Structure 1
Amino acid sequence: MKAEKIDPQSLKPARLMRLLNTAGLGTVLTEHRLRRHRNRAGYSIGTDKTINLFQYAAWLTQEFFREKRAPRDYAEKKRLQTIKNNEAVRTAQDIGELPPVADPKRKAESLRSFKAFCENYFKDVFYLKWSEDHLRVIEKIERSVRHGGLFAMAMPRGSGKALALDTPLPTPNGWTTMGDIRTGEEVFDEQGNPSRVVFATDVMHGHPCFEVAFSDGEKIVCDADHLWMVHNGSGWETRTTGSLDSRFPYRLPPTFPNDNRHIESIVPVPSVPVRCIQVDSSSRLYLAGRKMVPTHNTVLCQTAVVWAALSGATPFVCLIAASAERAQNLLENIKTWLECNVPLAEDFPEVCFPVKCLERIANRQKGQKHLG
């Protein structure tokens, strides 16, 4: 019988086990044990396909004479595991380095001027020419934030947020239109409650207009600056018609006749005469169209809250709403801006980055750290 040639410096695992287990000492090496040894020793005992018997023997000898640690009792194991867990928690809580400010010049300008803040970071909302009323309000907001004081002004944005004059409006006394509604009359809010019209603009001409179609078949013509409260997939926000992506099925707030409505299309149409109203509902929403679509008007005060908080001009900012639900909506809008407004996040990483790292998990704020 011809003897089998063996190269001890290049043995396949199966041949090595067969060789050692037939030496008369019984089963001394199993596949599982060999795999565990190879994982620990790595390439010091061979290649990925073969094993050097001499190197393997040397490694086993070294392991045998290695100083053994005394077995730990349960209390010691528990203590060490607690230390390990605490370190893992501290590592997870630390958000690391803040991103650099993308445009320091833009940031500095926006901190000096609330008007510049609106134009730089909310271009999709404040892209039309400012009215004299707006400029007066902006001046008062800046003065109040920086130096204190109180003021109040009810002011719809006369330059936009308008609907076509023939838009039907449901009222407690029957149907009317945007062209016929008058200050003091009542419409309905999104919950079907009567809401008084506190201001109505004159008829406006020459505005870019769009036809917005909804999933229930309703179509409404409005100008490019008209505001809609929509759900963008991650949260509620207020957007202008001109800034909406016509390909995205934005969901609208639920209303008493329809709780599952979304926008299906937004199509530019020739300009038509339009008009805007302001209502005293807590949500600032009112129903329009035969299918009663909830529509909106202003976000200037919400933007002022964000500016006041980011500028650090005042240690506390209080935003008061007429109801808990409305307050939640306002806060949700602000959170969405801090998380999703890209220019804002680029220039104010010291605020937006930690907020985004929370991932809307409230408990994380308790231990969140920056570089320890």
Structure 2
Amino acid sequence: MARTRAMVLAGQDIGALPPVRDVDRRARADGDFRYFCESYFPRLFTLAWSADHLKVIAKIEAAVIRGGLFAMAMPRCSGKTTLCQIAVLWAVLTGRQSFVYLISATAEYADAALNNLKSHLSQNELLLEDYPEAVYPIRLLEGESRRCAGQRYYGALTHIGWTADQIVLPTIPGSRCSGAIIRTSGLLGNIRGAMHIRPDGVSVRPSL
């Protein structure tokens, strides 16, 4: 029985993380939201930025780094939703925000947004190359959320979360985004009082 348990635990352990592929690219992307978009999502941002795009990118960057509120109005199909979703990833992967709550117009749009974020984290090879501490454990789930409960990193549970309404990034010692939370909701969802209890018992509320 003990041997069987040891084999199960060994099979659940993700082992060593891959090294960061391009340290310089990651370092620049960490401090430049526009560069992050262009470098890791070239298939999403294929056209030249307009002056309005650059203004919005600057405002998003400022909000993530320093906080604050701003209203954004742009024509339909101009990339507002995509920019906001990628901003969520930039905010958590760089360690600037520990709990990001993305609000969409309806519950259906919120579900679609979360699915998009999951696709980026589980399928984007460029993110895997430069942010392995967050993306590699997700990749090893292979889309099976039931594997979350037993996933370990050198024997310790990662407490990774991959549910219908939120993502919890893996708890990895030394990772800037360790345990970061991404949650989505429609405007009429139960937004007020949102919180998340970390494995250490600390209560975390949305920071962005």
Could you tell me the TM-score, scaled by structure 2's length? 0.69
Residue aligned with 1:319, SS: strand
1:309 and 2:92 are equivalent in the alignment: yes
**Aligned partner of 2:125: which letter?**
V
Report deviation, 1:371.
Answer: 1.8
**Aligned partner of 1:112: which letter?**
G
Equivalent of 2:45, from 126, 133, 158? Answer: 126
Greater helix share, structure number: 2
Equivalent of 2:10, from 79, 91, 101? Answer: 91
**Aligned partner of 2:87: which letter?**
A
Q: Which has the higher contact order (CA 8 A, sep 6+)?
A: 2
**Aligned partner of 2:11: which letter?**
A
The aligned counterpart of 2:117 is 334
**Aligned partner of 1:125: which letter?**
L
Equivalent of 2:59, from 136, 140, 148? Answer: 140
Equivalent of 1:345, from 115, 128, 135? Answer: 128
Mapped partners of 1:322, 1:92: distance in 2 = 42
CA contact (8 A) 2:122 2:135 kept: yes
Unaligned runs of 5+ in 1: 1-80, 157-277, 285-295
Deviations 1:62-120 (A, max 9, x none): xxxxxxxxxxxxxxxxxxx1x22321221122101111111100001110000000010
Mapped partners of 2:11, 2:19: distance in 1 = 21
Mapped partners of 2:48, 2:111: distance in 1 = 30
1:354 and 2:137 are equivalent in the alignment: yes
Which of structure 1's runs of 4+ aligned residues deviate more than 3 A?
none
Report deviation, 1:136.
Answer: 1.2
| 1:279-298 correspondence to structure 2 within 5 Å | 298=81
The aligned counterpart of 1:230 is none
**Aligned partner of 2:60: which letter?**
I
| 1:1-372 correspondence to structure 2 within 5 Å | 81=1, 83-156=2-75, 278=76, 298-372=81-155
Report % sequence identity: 48
**Aligned partner of 2:114: which letter?**
L
Mapped partners of 2:145, 2:107: distance in 1 = 19
Deviations 1:168-226 (A, max 9, x none): xxxxxxxxxxxxxxxxxxxxxxxxxxxxxxxxxxxxxxxxxxxxxxxxxxxxxxxxxxx
CA contact (8 A) 2:74 2:80 kept: no
**Aligned partner of 2:128: which letter?**
A
**Aligned partner of 1:111: which letter?**
D
Report deviation, 1:364.
Answer: 2.0
Report deviation, 1:298.
Answer: 4.3
Mapped partners of 2:109, 2:24: distance in 1 = 35
Residue aligned with 1:299, SS: helix
Unaligned runs of 5+ in 2: 156-208
